A and B are shown apart, each in its own frame.
Chain A
Amino acid sequence: MKDLMAERTVDTQKLKISARNVQVYYGDTHAIKDVNVDIEDKTVTAFIGPSGCGKSTFLRCINRMNDTIDVCRVQGDIMIDGEDIYDKRVDPVQLRAKVGMVFQKPNPFPKSIYDNVAYGPRIHGLAKNKADLDDIVERALRRGAIWNEVKDRLDAPGTGLSGGQQQRLCIARAVATEPEVLLMDEPCSALDPIATAQVEELIDELRQNYSVVIVTHSMQQAARVSQKTAFFHLGNLVEYGETGTIFTNPTDPRTESYITGRIG
């Protein structure tokens, strides 16, 4: 217990992502209002809040996925390692290689399991030769905790796996490009409890290497996997702090209402 506490204090010293006065508009709708948040390295940060509160939108700002939506405008600064990712010199394509993303619904490509995982490394030229690529794929699948289930059928289509396996494949696919930050948009909402437990276990392991940001509807999940929790409501970041504090002793009445089930 003491070790764990010590580890946590070490972690908190290194800042990975910091957002200042972030505003997001969808056309005329003001979806994110003035959000300031500091996300630490090697930490799992959970975003919770009722539907439509802007937590997914904010998550998609961190790897500029909102750029692909025509009507979406982002204002304010988001820094990763002190570098403004909305600067003109930053190529969103390269940014996304550094900030991986796992989506709500498992979305394996209609390719083989191997090609699904090798997709990112191939695009970014991470492997020098075939053996190297094989290594990367194996390592990613092991980190995705799915290697043992698929090692004998790497040529089978990724779409033929079960939902939980597909989601772990997508996580393996995301870690194969060696990102520094992993964004997860409700990664377990399409999964059954067993698959959810597997993915949660995986998230906890991923924390050793990455800064993980997870959006979730399940407050139990946020409490189980995260060290830090941010509560969003109607586009505002209401409260942000240690997960334990948020769930046991929230300062804002809105957080308390949401956690106890009175709103949302």
Chain B
Amino acid sequence: MSELFNGLIGGSAAGLMVIVVLGLSALGFYMARSRAMASGGGDRRNLHSLPNYYGWNAAMLTAVPALGVLVIWLLAQPMMIDSAVFKTIPDSAIAEGSSRGLVMSDVRRLADGLDVIVERGVMDAESAATLDANTTDLRATLAAEGVALGSAVEQPVLDAAQMYRTQSSTGRFWMTVLVSAIALLAFVVSLRLATADFRARNVVEKGILALLILSASIAILTTVGIVLSMLFESINFFRLHSWTDFFFGSTWAPNFRGDSDLSILPLLWGTLYISIIALLVAVPIGLFSAIYLSEYAGPKVRSAAKPLLEILAGIPTIVYGLFALLTVGPALVNIFGRGEQGLLGVEWMSGATSVLTAGLVMGIMLIPFVSSLSDDIINAVPQAMRDGSLGLGATHSETIRQVVIPAALPGIVGAILLAASRAIGETMIVVLGAGAIAKISANPLEAMTTITTRIVSQLTGDTNFASPETLVAFALGLTLFVLTLGLNVIALYIVRKYREQYD
């Protein structure tokens, strides 16, 4: 336990700093609170804000700027040291077939390794700093401590590593000084602010607002980051491979010797075909179950059936994939295949993987999605509509068919589009259930493959990362992203338009 604690704190100056700053900010909380109380003459009604707000204000002011600087420093320091050390490595130290980047990572690992052995007492700090690569077998020493190096240590690499270590420790020192100074300064200032007239409540609420904005922008910026990373890799791909073949070619035949046919069309066809079958299964079943649950089912049935349906939504998709591979696929083969022994006595289907297998299982997966969204939307249709129709002498089912469903239709269409975008992006079910043959065929009993499956198979395995065969995964991913994003935007637009009608 204490070893772990030492690892956490002794190992990194940053960990220690965080604890110190948080401690200071906790202290600030109590001191500011009591100072504010004292300045109000002990009566909280003389204060502008409740005493806790003064406390939170002090805690916030102490912790946030200091921790912010700490984070920025931690991000910037390795980059700056890297670029400084990078320049000092002589060209002679770079072996044949290696690159400066690889040597640099050796330097970093060596520097870390030296830190480890000093810390464990194998070597004192003095001798670690004055090592000579020619007299010590550093590789063996480090290996004994569990730090593996790629090759024997050369003097230039060792020099660079030593420089790395000195710069790091200087950096850590200044970081400690700066962060402590900021924390202390903020601590003092925030304590001085804690007087009866200070509008602590407003400041704290601004802080909370900033936190909320930060959270929202992290989510949005991540999306932007994902899109950009995909975009750059896709641009790399299109530098190596013609975009006409990618979008308009008809064959998908990756060839690891190069010169592959990498066309998205067969994959897109497989994706859309499977999604359409999935929707053909999910939309009627989901919609009908939603109508039953929202319009006919009694409260008892409803309270039992709804959670049961939603359990379907909680099943991991890999389990659906296994279900497709082990149950649905063989069952379909039994019906459509096996010649005389099969149910229909035909030989249309040979393997368990097919478009129909994946489509059926994906449809089952989407049922709760369609039904629970549609259920909410049907429930949102005002009771006044139903009353109006029933009051005219319509039966319950006429009311549902002619008034409730048309009123809910835009929302239901939105739900179906959301389900469609899930179907298009679904991976595990098609990896296991759809097969791996890229072709354009109308026969649902044949195995086909989808965009997501190909992304998985292009990125797993040991191919050169810079080859078009690997980079195509990003172009595929980007296309998929654009496709589902488009569907989601349309769906949300429709749903929102529908909402405006009744609220």
Binding site for B on A (CB under 8 A): 63, 65, 68, 70, 93-98, 100-101, 103, 105, 107-111, 119-120, 123-124, 159, 170, 173-174, 177
Contact = CB atoms under 8 A, between A and B. Distances in A.
Given A109-B403, A119-B402, A174 B392 contact: yes
Contact of B387 (A65, A95, A120, A159): A65
Contact of A123 (B384, B398, B501): B398
A177 B402 CA distance: 17
B258 interface: no
B402 A100 contact: no
Nearest to A94: B393
A96 B386 CA distance: 13
Interface in B93-140: none
9 shortest interchain CB distances as A-B pairs: A97-B393, A101-B391, A107-B384, A96-B393, A107-B388, A120-B392, A110-B407, A123-B394, A93-B395
B250 interface: no
A97 B393 CA distance: 4
A103 B406 contact: no
Nearest to B398: A123
B294 to A, nearest CB: 14
B143 interface: no
Nearest to B395: A93
A170 B501 CA distance: 18
A65 B391 contact: yes
A206 to B, nearest CB: 16
24 contacts: A63-B391, A68-B386, A93-B394, A94-B393, A95-B393, A96-B390, A101-B391, A103-B384, A103-B387, A103-B391, A105-B384, A109-B388, A109-B402, A119-B392, A119-B394, A119-B402, A120-B392, A120-B394, A123-B394, A123-B398, A123-B402, A174-B391, A177-B392, A177-B393
Nearest to B392: A120
B400 to A, nearest CB: 13
Contacts of B392: 96-97, 100-101, 119-120, 123, 173-174, 177
A188 B391 CA distance: 18
A162 B129 CA distance: 86
B397 to A, nearest CB: 11
B110 to A, nearest CB: 72
Nearest to A120: B392
B19 interface: no
Contacts of B387: 65, 68, 101, 103, 107
Contact of B388 (A63, A95, A123, A170): A170
Indicate the member of B382, B386, B394 with the most A CB atoms within 10 Å: B394
A170 B392 CA distance: 10
Contacts of A105: 384
Contacts of A101: 387, 391-392
Contacts of A95: 393
A47 B95 CA distance: 100
Contacts of B251: none
A110 B406 contact: yes
B181 interface: no
Contacts of B407: 109-110
A93 B392 CA distance: 8
Nearest to B382: A107
A159 B391 contact: no
Given A109-B407, A119-B402, A68 B393 contact: no
Interface in B445-477: none
B394 to A, nearest CB: 5
Contacts of B398: 123
Contacts of A96: 390-393
B484 to A, nearest CB: 29
Contacts of A159: 501
Contacts of A108: 388
A159 B385 CA distance: 12
Contact of A103 (B388, B394, B402): B388
B389 interface: yes
Contacts of B298: 70
Interface string B145-164: 00000000000000000000
A119 B389 contact: yes
A103 B387 CA distance: 8
B503 to A, nearest CB: 13
Contacts of B394: 93, 119-120, 123
Contact of A68 (B384, B390, B501): B390
B393 A124 contact: yes
B176 to A, nearest CB: 67
A3 B394 CA distance: 40
Interface in B362-409: 382, 384-395, 398, 402-403, 406-407
Contacts of A97: 392-393
Nearest to B402: A119
Contacts of A70: 298
Contacts of B384: 103, 105, 107
Given A120-B393, A123-B392, A159-B501, 14 more contacts: A63-B391, A65-B391, A70-B298, A93-B395, A96-B390, A97-B393, A98-B393, A100-B391, A101-B392, A109-B385, A119-B392, A120-B394, A170-B388, A177-B393
Contacts of A124: 393
Nearest to A68: B390
Contacts of A119: 389, 392, 394, 402
B389 A109 contact: yes
A81 B407 CA distance: 37
A120 B389 CA distance: 8
A110 to B, nearest CB: 5
B263 to A, nearest CB: 45
A36 to B, nearest CB: 25
A9 B145 CA distance: 113
A81 to B, nearest CB: 17
A187 to B, nearest CB: 13
Nearest to A115: B402
Contacts of A93: 393-395
A230 to B, nearest CB: 21
Interface string B281-310: 000000000000000001000000000000
Nearest to B388: A107
A93 B391 CA distance: 8
A155 to B, nearest CB: 15
A188 to B, nearest CB: 16
Contacts of B386: 68
Interface string B472-503: 00000000000000000000000000000100
A260 B472 CA distance: 84
Nearest to B393: A97
Contacts of B402: 109, 119, 123
A177 B384 CA distance: 19
A252 B384 CA distance: 36
